[in-house]
Structure 1
Amino acid sequence: MSYPFEFGEKTLWDAGYHSGQLYASLAQGAAGFLDVPSGLTHTPQGGCAVDRDAFQAFVQRLYDRCASTTSKVWWDLARGLLVTSLVLLDRSGGAIVLRPEDASTLDEEKTALARNMAS
């Protein structure tokens, strides 16, 4: 059983059911913490539709919060959510602005993770 994340007719990630549910729950929780919509809407078919503009704003806010913290614990807690979100955003054709000192590391992590995220 899968948990697809879809942007229009395109499947961005055909996640395993539990992985998809966990990611969607983490994104919703982080969006509430950041006081911004996640851009993810649960579908009756058992997945999520992605509103790219809202999702892009969510990912940018998440990254900005990560980039502005001095807490290694906060960064480490948010990192998996951020990198997964960057893969989905990239696959939807969206992008965010990254600090030059973070760009190459996050791009490498995104590329490595994307290999394991079926689309």
Structure 2
Amino acid sequence: MSYPYELDGETLWDAGSQSGRLYFSLVQGAAELTQMPTGLTHNDRLGGCDIELPTFRAFVEGVYDSYSRTNSPVLQGLWRGLLVTSLILLEMAGSSITLSAEHEEALRSEMASYGRSMGAPNRRQYTQ
């Protein structure tokens, strides 16, 4: 059983049921904290999510801003998993956000690891 994330009818991430549902739940919780729309809409027909790219990109920027502004190691750790997964999904959709030099190397390293397990296409190079 899977939980696909689709953009314009193309499956970007065919997440496992638990991974896909947990990610969606984390996104919804972060949306409440950031008071931003997510750009992800549950699709009953597919049992997954549709992505509205401009809104999702703005949401990922908001998550990155929250991650970057906190001095709390606990909050930063909680934001990090959501952020890395979101950055990969955003790049799978053919978009990205600008990362600061302070965070880029570490985030791209995690993106490489996560990306392989998310089935990210080889055309995306997370370690550049």
> TM-score under structure 2 normalisation?
0.89
Counterpart residue identity of residue 105, structure 1: A
User: Would you say 1:55 and 2:56 are equivalent positions?
Assistant: yes
User: Greater relative contact order: 1 or 2 (C-alpha under 8 angstroms, separation 6 or more)?
Assistant: 1
Equivalent residue, structure 1, for 2:123: none
Q: Structure 1, unaligned stretches of length 5 or more?
A: none
User: Would you say 1:110 and 2:123 are equivalent positions?
Assistant: no
Q: SS state of the match for residue 115, structure 1?
A: helix
In structure 1, C-alpha distance between the alignment counterparts of 2:111 and 2:37, rounded to whole Å: 22
Write the deviation string for residues 29-80 of structure 1: whole angstroms up to 9, x where unpaired.
Answer: 1011100001100001200001111111010000011101101100001111
Equivalent residue, structure 1, for 2:41: 41
Matched positions, count: 119
Q: SS state of the match for residue 70, structure 1?
A: coil
> TM-score under structure 1 normalisation?
0.96
Write the deviation string for residues 61-114 of structure 1: whole angstroms up to 9, x where unpaired.
Answer: 000111011011000011110000001000001111211111111111111101
Moved over 2 A (4+): none
Deviation at residue 9 of structure 1 after TM alignment: 2.4
In structure 2, C-alpha distance between the alignment counterparts of 1:30 and 1:115, rounded to whole Å: 24
In structure 1, C-alpha distance between the alignment counterparts of 2:107 and 2:23, rounded to whole Å: 18
Q: SS state of the match for residue 71, structure 2?
A: coil
Q: Structure 2, unaligned stretches of length 5 or more?
A: 121-128
Equivalent residue, structure 2, for 1:92: 93
In structure 1, C-alpha distance between the alignment counterparts of 2:93 and 2:105, rounded to whole Å: 20
Note the aligned Cα RMSD (angstroms): 1.0
Deviation at residue 10 of structure 1 after TM alignment: 1.9
Identity %: 48
